[in-house]
Amino acid sequence: MATGSGLFTFLRPRLRPQSTDIAAAATWGVAAATGALWLIQPFDWLKKQFLEKPEPEK
């Protein structure tokens, strides 16, 4: 994983991120993004931006 790639060799082994740390950070990121979408609920804006075709100007 990350310890074998040499990305964190400058850190002491005890301070290097483990795979569980990376998985936890990814889980919290997904939870934060889901919470933000639930709070803002921009679904009408998303539908308008990506699914509806704009009307041609006259």
User: How many alpha carbons lie under 13 Å from residue 34 in its C-beta half-sphere?
Assistant: 6
pLDDT value for 3: 46
27 alpha carbon, distance to own chain's centre: 9
> What is the per-residue pLDDT across 1-57, written as a single tens digit (0 to 9) for each?
544 567 778 888 888 889 999 999 999 999 999 999 999 999 898 888 888 887 888
Measuring CA to CA, which residue among 22, 24, 29 is closest to residue 1?
22
User: What pTM was computed for the model?
Assistant: 0.61
pLDDT value for 32: 98
How does DSSP classify residue 54? P
pLDDT value for 35: 96
Measuring CA to CA, which residue among 37, 36, 2 is closest to residue 21?
2
Taking the C-alpha atoms of residue 17 and residue 22, their distance in angstroms, rounded to an integer, is: 7
